Structures are given as structure tokens and as C-alpha cells.
Amino acid sequence: MNISSYRVNTVKALQNEIKTPTDIASDAGIRVNHISKVLRELKETGVAECINEESRKGRLYRLTDVGEEIVDYLE
């Protein structure tokens, strides 16, 4: 699995949901140690966002409007 498939699977895992990185990794079939890099890349490109950035534990992520449009395109 390459990094682009990680991003695609992460976007699909976040579709219409708010999840922790552990849940995203589990649903996307990605090891937890890779998910933070994927989430950072998706945040930098405006596809995903962290809704409780100030928390050190239990951060929650969701797709932005752009991310939701992308996941619709992927289907």
C-alpha cells in the first residue's frame, strides 16, 4: 500500500463522520504509526481538520467541505 492509497482510505474512513486517529486507522486498514502523517498531509491540503486541536489526547478529525466533495468524487 502506498501513501496515496493511505490518503484515499483515510478520506473514505472519515466520510460523514468524526473520528479519533485510532478509529480512522482501524477503519482505513492503516497502522496507527502512519496515520498521523496522513492526517497532517490532509490538514495541510484542506481536506481534513482537527476539531479539538488544543487536546493532546483524543483529538477528533473530520473532513472539510472540500474533503466531502473529494469523497463523493471517489465513489
* Cβ atoms of 16 and 75 closer than 8 Å: no
Which residues form the domain of 53? 3-74
Span 4-16, pLDDT tens digits: 899 999 999 999 9
* Cβ atoms of 66 and 14 closer than 8 Å: no
Span 50-72, pLDDT tens digits: 999 999 899 999 999 999 999 88
The answer to which of 1-5, 24-28, 38-42 has the lowest mean pLDDT is: 1-5
Q: How many domains, in total, are found in the chain?
A: 1
CATH of residue 38's domain is: 1.10.10.10
Predicted TM-score (pTM) above 0.85: yes
